[in-house]
Amino acid sequence: MFPFIIIFIMGLFLILPQQVFAIPAFARQYKVSCNTCHAAFPRLNSYGEQFADENYRMPNWRDTVLDTGDSMLALPKYVPLSIRAMAYAQVREGKYIDPVSGETEKADTDFQAPYMIKILSSAPLSDRISFYFYGILAEKGENGTVIVEDAWFSYSSIFNTGIDLMIGQFQISDLMFPRELRLTFQDYMIYRMAGITYDRGVIFSKGFDPVSIDLGLVNGNGIEENLKINSPGYKRPDHMFDNDRKKTAFGRIGVDIAGVSAGLFGLYGKQKTKLTTSAGTKSGSRYADKKIYGLDISGNVNDKVYYFFQYLYNDWGKYFDDTPNKKYQWWGVFAGVDYVYSDKVVLSVLYNYADAGDFDGTSTVYEGININTLTLTYSYYFMRNVKGIIEATYDFQSKDNDPDFVGHETKEGYILIGFDAAF
């Protein structure tokens, strides 16, 4: 009950800040420097957030389209494409451990190049409609597999109501802190653990200055294609992106007080249960309630020091088929500070903590929700859009001493050095 009391009290002081996914295509389109929207790539400044408020375009966007003599056609003068590429070398403690057999593979030193190559694009298509997408050409050693992650249309003030619409594929967690805009290599771990990253659906947004509200609905099963439609007959071409009739609803409400932003998040949906056998990696036969409650706070000091905090409380209902009368709750936080020391140097700190709660002692992979790490990152900007990073993560947890192969079987600290560029 205590977490709910905290969230209720903080809910009186909330805001929903709009976010923008700025890319170099925007800089080329409007002939401006990256630092127009970025305090330090990819971290946004206040103008970058304002850019989102105007549906991802500047007031002179019409000057950037091809003159066809047709007022009903707004084609960019060139296809707006950008590339983001990353390459790293790591020394780390983490290793692969099969959760059932305990089979282990370890590489203490690892050249991760390319770590990721992305192609990005966005353009205003009318006075009210914009489109954005990015796809991955290579990720974490998988070459030759193209994956589209963000891909959505946005429509400002549908039917002149002041309600904005976004429909497509996106990260639910972007309502709080977009993972793609973080300065650290280390992730915002509780977003991944809670399963509130990529999904397909719709978001409606409305501002009541200074309060803003977002309400959304998604399939609730990620972004994988699920079922072929074959009920009318043989070899039908379409697919169902959802694999059941259940949807996941979520929302966020907020307010901005003296430059400090805070937000209250809530989600309700269903998710397939798991079996405790095979370390919880096999699906069960039921659906369990999925409830998530969150609190986020952020702000900056003189556009130099940016701070952020996220709390998530997860109630996953009767999650295991083997224990149908037991409910499972867990919680986690992350917090960080980015200090823009100069045009060349940015220092970042990120702390990740999660408590597996009721999953402790289940001998399933969900014991691995437990995390307690501190990350320090030094970013050096050779150019506005090219940076080198040195990052170290320290793991405060002790390794498990139990006989199973799940949980904290190995430490997860690392030292990383590499490049991140967008062009």
Give the per-residue pLDDT at 46. Answer: 76
Q: Between β-strands 109-124 and 211-218, what pairing exists: parallel, antiparallel or unpaired?
A: unpaired
Query: Which residues make Cβ contacts (< 8 Å) with residue 195, sequence separation at least 6?
Result: 222, 271, 290
**Helix (H), strand (E) at residue 176:** none
What is the band of 309 on the pLDDT scale with cuts at 50, 70, 90?
A: very high
Give the per-residue pLDDT at 18. Answer: 38
CA distance 294 to 154: 25
CA distance 248 to 266: 11
What is the band of 17 on the pLDDT scale with cuts at 50, 70, 90?
A: very low
Whether 263 contacts 173, CB under 8 Å: no
CA distance 376 to 227: 43
CA distance 60 to 82: 21
Bridge partners of 143, per DSSP, are 138
Give the per-residue pLDDT at 345. Answer: 97
Q: What is the mean pLDDT of the chain?
A: 89
Give the per-residue pLDDT at 30. Answer: 81
Q: Which tokens is 55 given?
A: 């549906």
Minimum mean pLDDT among 62-66, 160-164, 192-196: which range? 62-66
The dihedral sign for the CA sequence 392, 394, 399, 404: negative
Mean pLDDT of 132-144: 88
What is the band of 44 on the pLDDT scale with cuts at 50, 70, 90?
A: confident
Q: Between β-strands 371-383 and 38-40, what pairing exists: parallel, antiparallel or unpaired?
A: unpaired
Buried b (16+ CB within 10 A) or exposed e, 258-267: eeebbbbbeb
CA distance 182 to 384: 16
CA torsion angle 48 51 53 56 (round to 10): -120
Mean pLDDT of 327-335: 98
Give the per-residue pLDDT at 127. Answer: 93
Q: How many structural domains is the chain composed of?
A: 1
SS3 for 32? coil
Mean pLDDT of 382-399: 96
- DSSP label of 382: E
Give the per-residue pLDDT at 211. Answer: 94
What is the band of 317 on the pLDDT scale with cuts at 50, 70, 90?
A: very high
> Is 1 exposed, middle or buried (CB count within 10 Å of its CB: 0-12, 13-18, 19+)?
exposed
Give the per-residue pLDDT at 1. Answer: 41
Cis peptide before 114 (omega within 30 of 0): yes
Give the per-residue pLDDT at 150. Answer: 94
Give the per-residue pLDDT at 20. Answer: 42
Q: What is the pTM of this model?
A: 0.89
Mean pLDDT of 98-119: 92
Reported as a single tens digit per residue, the pLDDT across 240-260 is: 999 888 999 999 999 988 889
SS3 for 13? helix
Mean pLDDT of 6-34: 56
Query: Given phi > 0 = left and psi -120 to 50 = alpha, else beta, which region is 101?
Result: alpha
CATH number of the domain residue 41 falls in: 2.40.160.10
Domain that holds residue 321: 2-422
Give the per-residue pLDDT at 58. Answer: 82
Task: Please tell me which residue, 35 or 166, carries the higher pLDDT value.
Answer: 166
